[in-house]
Amino acid sequence: MPTIVNRREMLQIGYAGLLGAGLSSLAFAQQPPLRAQRQPPQSVILVFLTGAASHLETFDPKPDAPEEIRGEFKAITTKTPGLLVCEHLPKLAARSHLYSVIRSLAHRENNHLVATHHVLTGHMQPGAFFDKIASRDDFPNYAGGLCYFREPPPGTPCGVNLPTYLMEGSLLWPGQHGGFLGPKHDVLQITQNPNRPDFRVENLRPAPGLAVDQLADRVTLLEAINSQQKWLAQAAETQKLTDQQRQAVNVLTSGKVAKAFEMDQEPAKTRDRYGRHPFGQSCLLARRLIEAGVPVVQANMGHVQNWDNHSQLFQRMKNDLLPPLDTAVSALLDDLHDRGLLASTLVVMLGEFGREPKINKDAGREHWAPCFCGLFAGAGVRGGQVIGKSDASAAYPATTPYSPDDLGATIYTVLGIDPHAEVFDRLHRPVQLNRGSVIRPLFDGATE
C-alpha cells in the first residue's frame, strides 16, 4: 500500500532526511600532450592544510639560514637528491620516490579566505577583498567544474569534502561549492569526525523503518505535487531543493558511495596504519571514496585555524600537527600504490599560502603568500623530484613561480577537462574556467 505523507512532511524529508550535511584551448594545441592527457580522466585527492602550514617547517627547510629564519627543527635527507624535509616527517621522507615537491608556488593574497578561494578553484575570487566570504559569484571548486562538463554516474556525487566545513563565526570560506554554476554542482559536505566509533553519515541512509522502495514512493509523490504546483516549481529555491534532492536520493538509493562511509568495515590493521585520529581516518575515507567512484575528494587536515600558527608554532607542529599528518599521508600513498590506484589518482597536499620567513616575537610565523610549497603524487606525476626552488630565506621563488591558476590548470587536465574551456555563469554569461598553465615538469620531468 503506498505510503501517505503530506506536503510539509515531504519537504522536511527533502531537507533533513536526504540533504543532511549539505549536497549542496589553445594552450593544449600549442604543446605536445602530457602523459596525463593521454590517459583516461583521473581522480583527485586534495589534502588541504587549512590555515596554511609553514613551508620552512615541512618541505623547504633552510638549515643554513640564520636562527630567526631556520627555526627550531632539524632537516633530514630523503631518497630524492636535493630534497630536505622537516625532521618530524620521517615517514614521508622515506617515500619521496612516490611524489614531487614544488618549492616555488606563489601568489599575492595573504588573506585566508581570498587565498583559499584561489587555491581551491584555480581562479582569483571575483571582487576579492579582505575576508570576502563565500557567495554564488565565486568560481566553482574543482569538483563543481568537473561536474559542469561531465556528470558523475548515478548515485555518485561530483565530489566530497570532509571532515570539516571551513567556517568560523560569520566567516564562510569560499571555494567549497559550485559557485556561480549553482547548487546542482555542489559537493557533498561531511561534517563528522571519521575517527569517532559512532561515525555515521545519516543523510546517506534511509531513516529507520523506511525502505528504499518507500523512499521512491515518496519521491514520486513529491514530483507529482511539484508538477501540480507550477508556481512552486518556478521559484529559485524550489529548483535548488529539487536539484539537491535528486543528488541525495541517487546517492542514498545506489548504496555504493554510502558503503564507503562504513569505516567499521575496514580492517583494524589498515585503520591503525593510517592513525586513529581525524587526519588518518580522513585520508582513509578519502581512499574509500575514490574506490567508490567519487572523482574529487578534499580532506581538510584540521579546522580553519589548525595550521595558522602565529604563536607557539614549533610546539604545535611538533606535538599536534606534523606527526599525525606524516602518518596519514604516508599511509595514503602506500595504500593507493599497493591497490593500484596511485597511477589513476592525483594526490595534492598544500595550504592556501606559506608562512613568513622571519619568526615573530611570539615564536610563530605570519601569513606569507609570495612563496610556499606543495606535494604532488600519482596520475602520471614523476616521483622523486624537486621542482623549483626558493631563495636563501624561503621568501621568494628563485626559479619560475607557479600560481594557484597553474595548480587549477593541472588538476583540471588530470580530470580530463580543458581548463581554458568556457562555462556559463548564473546570468548565462560565458566565463573562461581557468587562466593558468599546466605545471608540465610534474609530468615531463624537472628542468630547473
Which pLDDT value is given to residue 245? 64
What lies within 8 Å, CB to CB, of 14 at 6+ separation is 222, 241, 244, 245
Is 416 a member of any domain? yes
Q: Characterize 358-387 residue by residue with b for buried, 16 or more Cβ atoms within 10 angstroms of its Cβ, and e for exposed.
A: ebeeeebbebbbbbbbbbbbbbbbbbbbbb
Is 80 exceeded by the pLDDT of residue 275? yes
Which pLDDT value is given to residue 252? 65
Q: Per the structure, how many domains does the chain have?
A: 1
Cα gap 255→252, rounded to integer Å? 6
Which pLDDT value is given to residue 281? 98
Q: Which of 202-206, 243-247, 332-336 has the highest mean pLDDT?
A: 332-336
Which pLDDT value is given to residue 256? 79
Predicted confidence band of residue 246 (pLDDT cuts 50, 70, 90): low
**DSSP assigned state of 354:** E
What is the strand order of the sheet 345-350 is part of? 188-189, 160-162, 296-300, 43-48, 345-350, 372-377, 99-105, 385-387
Is 246 a member of any domain? no
Is 3 a member of any domain? no
Instruction: State what percent of residues in the chain have pLDDT above 90.
Output: 72
In this structure, how many other beta carbons lie within 10 angstroms of the beta carbon of residue 234? 9
Is 219 a member of any domain? no
Per-residue model confidence as pLDDT tens digits over 359-386: 999 999 999 999 999 999 999 999 999 9
Domain CATH number, residue 95: 3.40.720.10
Is 159 a member of any domain? yes
Is 80 exceeded by the pLDDT of residue 424? yes
Is 80 exceeded by the pLDDT of residue 13? no
User: Helix, strand, coil proportions of the chain in percent (round to 5)?
Assistant: 40, 15, 50
Cα gap 103→214, rounded to integer Å? 54
Is 90 exceeded by the pLDDT of residue 234? no
CA 375, chain centre distance (Å): 13
**Among the listed residues 438, 421, 426, the one whose alpha carbon sits nearest the alpha carbon of residue 149:** 421
**DSSP assigned state of 329:** H
Whether the CB-CB separation of 403 and 123 falls below 8 Å is answered with no
Predicted confidence band of residue 10 (pLDDT cuts 50, 70, 90): very low
Is 64 a member of any domain? yes
Which pLDDT value is given to residue 17? 29
* SS3 assignment for 257-280: HHHHCCHHHCCHHHHHHHCCCHHH
Going by their DSSP bridges, the two strands 99-105 and 372-377 should be labelled as antiparallel
Q: Which residues sit opposite 300 in a β-bridge?
A: 48
- The predicted model gives 335-362 an average pLDDT of 97
**Residue 40 is part of which domain span?**
31-201+261-444
CA angle 285, 171, 147 (to 5 degrees): 45
Per-residue model confidence as pLDDT tens digits over 80-121: 999 999 999 999 999 999 999 999 999 999 999 999 999 999
Torsion on CA atoms 378, 302, 117, 286, rounded to nearest 10: 40
Going by their DSSP bridges, the two strands 354-355 and 367-368 should be labelled as antiparallel
Whether the CB-CB separation of 156 and 187 falls below 8 Å is answered with no
Whether the CB-CB separation of 59 and 85 falls below 8 Å is answered with yes
Is 70 exceeded by the pLDDT of residue 233? no
Q: Which residues sit opposite 189 in a β-bridge?
A: 161
Cα gap 89→53, rounded to integer Å? 13
Is 13 a member of any domain? no
CA angle 46, 167, 136 (to 5 degrees): 80
Q: Structure pTM?
A: 0.86
E strand residue ranges, 156-280: 160-162, 167-168, 171-172, 188-189
Per-residue model confidence as pLDDT tens digits over 120-153: 999 999 999 999 999 999 999 999 999 999 988 8
Is 230 a member of any domain? no
Is 90 exceeded by the pLDDT of residue 3? no
H or E element at residue 213: helix 212-228
Q: Which amino acid is at 433?
A: L
